Amino acid sequence: MINDKVKEVLNEQINKEFYSAYLYLAMSAYFDDIGLCGFANWTKVQAREEVDHGMIIFDYLIDRDCKVTLKQIDYPENDFSSPLQVFERILEHEKYVTSSIDCIAYMSQEECDMATRNFINWYLTEQVEEEKNASDVITKLKLFGDEKASLFLIDKELLDREYKKHTFS
């Protein structure tokens, strides 16, 4: 059985993951609007992964015989100014999610909930990758600037990202 404190933060994390999906979808719509199909694809794939992240916690709570309490999802910002600004926002958001996951890891350890402590390791590893992915694109955008030809090449590269369902293992 999971204690109430850990259950609460896991329920909150479901909300944060679904909010993340919403945020990435807003970004995808922005990129689509300005004609950057690869950037639009990359952020849309990320949105689907965020839904998986939320569902993995949802299923974990059900498996542990815990009540799932879904909360209201805030609307995301919808105004963006450039690909670089969006990816800097992504990195900032992912750092926030990492700190939230760190808190769950710390709390489950403190509450001697070793099953949750083990479960959350998957998310700790995932966050390292998420921050790196955003940083890699920021590096390229800073390196090449807003030059149209290089933006076209980065866009082409981001078009290759394919969705693969994320599962807990």
Task: State in angstroms the smallest separation of the CB of 16 from ligand FEO.
Answer: 8
Of 2, 7, 14, 17, the one binding ligand FEO (CB under 6 A) is 17
Q: Within 13 Å of residue 19, how many CA atoms lie on the same side as its CB?
A: 19
Residue 113 is a binding residue for ligand FEO (CB under 6 A): no
Of 94, 107, 116, 158, the one binding ligand FEO (CB under 6 A) is 94
Q: Which two tokens stand for residue 138?
A: 């920021």
Residue 87 is a binding residue for ligand FEO (CB under 6 A): no
Tokens 């403190």 label which residue?
110
Task: State in angstroms the smallest separation of the CB of 32 from ligand FEO.
Answer: 20
Please state, in angstroms and rounded to a whole number, the distance separating the CA atoms of residues 56 and 103.
18
Element (H, E) at 29: helix 4-33
Which residues bind to ligand FEO, rule: CB under 6 A?
Answer: 17, 20, 50, 53, 94, 97, 130
